[in-house]
Structure 1
Amino acid sequence: MSAREISKLLFTTVYPLYVQKAERKNRTKEEVDTIICWLTGYSREQLSHHAAINIDFQSFFDQAPAINPNTSQIKGVVCGIRVEDIQDPMTQKIRYLDKLIDELAKGKSIDKILRQ
């Protein structure tokens, strides 16, 4: 999927899939929300609002209050590509989120996921 195509995916469509993935692995929606809020700077209320409206990833990240400065510590592979090597900034943010949700589903503690 090209960078342009991935940025046009609706966050509203993907968010419930993140929650389902976490819940299948006995994690919670609250943990998913914690991760997304940590990454984007959104409050839980702002996140709930964005999850309820039709917003694509491009707009979701463009409107984010503050991308966490510790994102440079997120490393690993998503869809066969190392997230730290992705050149397109928007695609990298989306893949950071994918990586964090993967870590949650694999049982990693929230403290480690949030690079604390």
Structure 2
Amino acid sequence: MASMELQGVDEILNKLQSMGTNVSRLENKALRNAAEPVLEDAKATNAFNDRSGKLRKGLKITNVKKKEGVKYILIGIDKSDNSKIYYGKFLEFGTSKMPAKPFLQPAYEKNKDNIKRTIAETLKEGLK
């Protein structure tokens, strides 16, 4: 999973806190807004032949999680559907008998700049 660090967000968050805005909800909204285009691009890929549509339907954005004070979300196969579409990981990373046909990493790379911009814009909206 790729990692991204944003600079200057602390200033915006401090200003939001001083205004009494529910920062936590705004942070969650910013993360989800930024993840949507990545999910849509992953679903739209032609990297896999998904005749049943199960893999596309199983791609989801998780709820916001927090680890060591850092909020994050994951985009990928919903754990409740994992047993039905376990093959998604083989497509993404390949096997000893099959080359990788990644669909999540390219979607992230395509939207990397948009992710930063979307998070910043969503947080700025909260300042209004």
Q: Compare the two structures and name the one with the higher helix fraction.
A: 1
TM-score (norm 1): 0.39
* Higher-Rg member (1/2): 2
Q: Compare the two structures and name the one with the higher strand fraction.
A: 2
